[in-house]
Amino acid sequence: MSLIAISIAALILALIGVPLFVVLGGLALAAFFHSGIEPSAVSVEIYRLASAPTILTIPLFTFAGYLLAESNAPKRLFRFTNALLSWMPGGVAIVGLVLCAFFTAFTGASGVTIVALGGLIYPILMNRGHDDKFTMGFITTSGSLGLLFPPSLPIILYGIVAGVDIDQLFKAGIVPGMLLIIGLAIYSILKAPKENSEKGKFDLKEVLVGLKGAAFELFLVPAVLVGIYGGVVTVTEAAAFTAFYILMIECFVYRDLSFTKDVPKIVVDSMTMVGAILIILCCALGLTNFLVDEEIPNQLFGAFNHILTNKYAFLAFLNIFLLIVGSLMDIFSAIIVVVPLILPLAQEFDIHPIHLAIVFLTNLEIGYITPPVGINLFISSIRFKRPITELYRSALPFLFILLICLAIITYVPALSLIWVK
């Protein structure tokens, strides 16, 4: 059987719904066998991955994010940010952007954010005079906002797959992530109702009450960032601290969760997702070894060399390609499958690996709301019982704004590299 036939068979299996790790693992084993290489080359990757010190960050941060999502943390954080920012034009929408970014950064999953915060934000935006189209587009878009901020799970996974320093990636994502929030905040201000203005009065007492209520959760962000960037702890140690800290405050300080009833279920749910990611990652890394051995990336570069004559053309092509990938695949699978293919191509065009990472992740973040099959569109459709075509129309203005921000991030690499040594 030729490699083309093997690839076609793998594609058919994927299209009929065979689990991705089976497709990738089977493809890797078949490819190695066809080339006369021991299939044990695939299993070696499992050991290599297990011995990587940063691999522990994935289950720890995921567990912490699920604890936050299942607790009353969203309500406490919303009360504080609402008291702090709602006096501004479009203030409640800005509150929603900040809160969604915070949540997605810790959960690493837009679906969790839409489910956890969508029902909380929707009635408030409607009561403040925003129309239904804006509100649905806002919630759908905000669900994936925050994937560029530490300790985002996609950033960690990208660092492991691409062999890029995760601390540097955490720094690199801050300014581009802020740009996305600012772009959407400006649009929210412009769309703020002129009649029945949503601006509230700044109430210091309410701010202090909200701060007191959410103080333990708010402490976590500066503690993790200062710990990592101050050289006090490694990323892995920060992940362990985060998981333990959130477990303690949600179970024994706020008592939102029962340690004996709720936590076991959260462990199962969060580790099920982690297990799926790690199995896919192991199989994909085995396939990556084969692609490198067969010099497939170099062949791809040769095929596109006459079309992509400079790095700007390559970046434009990459954006289009990744938007399509982001709308068709979940972000974790996309990172595992696509990153090994584009890294050698990017090196040929002298694109900084950190800048490439931020462009890659931004594209996949936007891919969540890209029609026709962006995952956020379907999650919002199910969550709010709306036709998917209605979500397409609602998300388009937000998609347009994010694409403008993407162009800036892509062609102004200094935004990604400003704090990178």
CA-based nearest residue to 260, from 243, 279, 247? 247
Residue 237 forms part of a structural domain: yes
| Cα-based distances in Å from 207 to 71, 82, 249 | 21, 8, 21
Q: Does residue 39 have a cis peptide bond before it, meaning omega lies within 30 degrees of 0?
A: no
- Strand, coil or helix: 215: helix
Are 126 and 135 spatial neighbours (Cβ–Cβ below 8 Å)? yes
Mean pLDDT of the chain: 82
Q: What is the DSSP letter of 202?
A: -
Residue 135 forms part of a structural domain: yes
% pLDDT > 70, the chain: 81
Q: Which helix (H) or strand (E) holds 341?
A: helix 331-348
Single-letter code of the amino acid located at 283: C
Q: What is the per-residue pLDDT across 343-363, written as a single tens digit (0 to 9) for each?
A: 888 888 889 999 999 999 999
Q: What is the per-residue pLDDT across 300-326, written as a single tens digit (0 to 9) for each?
A: 666 666 677 788 888 998 898 888 887
Using 50, 70 and 90 to split pLDDT, how confident is the model at 179? Answer: very high
Residue 20 forms part of a structural domain: no
Residue 306 forms part of a structural domain: yes
Mean pLDDT computed over 269-274? 82
Mean pLDDT computed over 41-54? 68
> Distance (Å, rounded) from C-alpha 210 to C-alpha 217?
12
Phi, psi for residue 189 in degrees, rounded to 5: -65, -45
Q: Which domain, by its residues, includes 57?
A: 39-417
Residue 25 reports pLDDT greater than 90: no
Are 114 and 379 spatial neighbours (Cβ–Cβ below 8 Å)? yes
| The pair of three-digit structure tokens given for residue 410, joined into one six-digit string | 């892509």
Q: What is the per-residue pLDDT across 151-167, written as a single tens digit (0 to 9) for each?
A: 888 899 899 888 898 88
| The pair of three-digit structure tokens given for residue 414, joined into one six-digit string | 């200094």
Mean pLDDT computed over 170-189? 93
pLDDT score of 148: 92
pLDDT score of 261: 92
Q: What is the per-residue pLDDT across 373-410, written as a single tens digit (0 to 9) for each?
A: 777 888 888 778 888 888 889 999 999 999 999 999 99
Residue 374 forms part of a structural domain: yes
Residue 7 forms part of a structural domain: no
How many other CB atoms are found less than 10 A from the CB of residue 311?
A: 15
Using 50, 70 and 90 to split pLDDT, how confident is the model at 419? Answer: confident
Residue 26 forms part of a structural domain: no
Residue 5 forms part of a structural domain: no
Instruction: Please give the tally of structural domains in the chain.
Output: 1
